[in-house]
């Protein structure tokens, strides 16, 4: 599908997804999850050295915007990219930032 084929509602949804991704902490979370990982809030807060409540807040935003999904495993909720092709976007952003 070409971008020009998108309806206005779909463009709006894409813009909202990009806004959610644009926060440094959320982009960092996607960087870790873009490697095909499923991570808990605890793992993410430790990796990023942030408060657990802050990690939960950012995960909630990403999930609300349709970027992340979650699955319950025992007492933990594991988060992962809802669409694996988002890892390409994260990789592209990383490559552009490192030039």
pLDDT tens-digit profile of 55-86? 999 999 999 999 999 999 999 999 999 987 88
Q: What is the C-alpha separation between 92 and 96, in angstroms, rounded?
A: 6
> The domain spanning residue 68 has which CATH number?
1.10.10.10
Assigned domain for 1 exists = no
Tell me the residue range of the domain where 14 lies.
7-97
Neighbours of 87 (CB within 10 A): 16
Assigned domain for 59 exists = yes
pLDDT in tens, 12-29: 888 888 888 889 999 999
Assigned domain for 39 exists = yes
Assigned domain for 58 exists = yes
Q: Into how many domains does the chain fold?
A: 1
Would you place residue 99 in the very low, low, confident or very high pLDDT band (cuts 50, 70, 90)? low
Residue ranges of alpha helices (H) inside 22-85 are 24-33, 41-48, 52-64
Using DSSP, state whether 6 is helix, strand or coil. coil
């Amino acid at each position: 599908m070409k971008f020009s084929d998108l309806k206005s509602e779909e463009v709006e949804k894409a813009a909202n997804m990009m806004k959610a991704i644009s926060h440094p902490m959320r982009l960092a979370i996607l960087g870790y999850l873009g490697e095909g990982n499923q991570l808990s809030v605890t793992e993410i807060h430790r990796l990023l050295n942030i408060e657990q409540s802050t990690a939960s807040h950012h995960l909630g935003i990403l999930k609300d915007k349709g970027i992340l999904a979650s699955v319950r495993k025992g007492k933990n909720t594991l988060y992962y990219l809802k669409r694996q092709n988002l890892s390409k976007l994260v990789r592209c952003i990383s490559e552009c930032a490192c030039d």
